[in-house]
Structure 1
Amino acid sequence: MKKRNRIIYWVATLWLSLGMISTGIVQLIKMDEEVANFNTLGYPVYLMTILGICKLLGTVAVLLPKLAILKEWAYAGFTFTMLGAAISHLAVGDPMITLFGPLLLLVLTIISWSFRPPSRKIVKLEPKMTIETPL
């Protein structure tokens, strides 16, 4: 069971990383199609730089070992970004096919987060309980 979970985690995480890196680069280089997309959604073009940098940094955080708290922030950022993208496309009446990318990345984010190994989670320290016996 552990091997299956590890495989699911890495497949989802690698596909998520590929998606975030590719869309982050597209936004950083301000491809014409992405600029038109942002204009259609009513977002300022400078937001592409912010999102692009955050996607690249979030991917690094998700892929590096340890850094559990930073990973949680990255996963949360990916979740909010993809939900925001999907809702934005719905709000402006874009065709349903435009939801595919954001929703796929959202699902990959959820799977990656859900199947991450214990070494990539925040360790919850439980207080030690001691029972004192009377002498």
Structure 2
Amino acid sequence: MNSSKTNRILFWSATILIFLFEGVMPALTSQTALAKEGIRHLGYPEYFGNALVAFKILGVIILILPKAPKRLKEWAYAGFTFDFLFASISHFAVDGLHFETFFPLIVLAVLMVSYIFYHKSSTVINLKNN
């Protein structure tokens, strides 16, 4: 298997996981009592959870659209990075060291795989076009 194909497989595998965790799941579960309680438990108002879900859905759409502008993709990656870091900090501040504190960091690692291989894939494409 060539390097370019491997890069694309790793990019799409990681990106699809982010799409499922940060786009599909929040879209389907954001209005449940459990999700609303989770936002309240961390000390955030309900409207914050609604805004967060809207931005997550927009972010994953930008990540999976191949023709989305690179600048928008960079903003989406940055937004998700802040989201995961602050989710981890919020869980630690409220609940201490538990799995919920580390799970956002695990998802951040998956996001970083997507980000790294997005750039590796786009570099190969740019080299072929020159």
Residue 59 of structure 1: CA displacement? 0.6
2:18 — aligned with what? 16
Alpha carbon RMSD of aligned pairs, Å?
1.9
TM-score w.r.t. the length of structure 2 is: 0.83
2:99 — aligned with what? 97
1:62 — aligned with what? 63
SS at structure 1 position matched to 2:95: coil
How many aligned residue pairs are there?
119
After TM superposition, the structure 1 = structure 2 runs for residues 71-110 of structure 1, keeping only pairs within 5 Å, are 71-94=73-96, 96-110=98-112
The letter for the 2-side match of 1:57 is: L
Q: Distance in 2 between matches of 1:100 and 1:13?
A: 20
Q: Whose helix fraction is larger, Structure 1's or Structure 2's?
A: 2
Structure with higher Rg: it is 1
Q: Distance in 2 between matches of 1:23 and 1:87?
A: 21
Identity %: 37
The letter for the 2-side match of 1:63 is: I
Residue 95 of structure 1: CA displacement? 5.2
Q: Distance in 2 between matches of 1:94 and 1:41?
A: 12
Q: Structure 2: which 5+ runs fail to align?
A: none
Q: Structure 1: which 5+ runs fail to align?
A: 124-135
TM-score w.r.t. the length of structure 1 is: 0.80
SS at structure 2 position matched to 1:17: helix
2:42 — aligned with what? 41
Q: Distance in 2 between matches of 1:94 and 1:57?
A: 31
Residue 13 of structure 1: CA displacement? 0.5
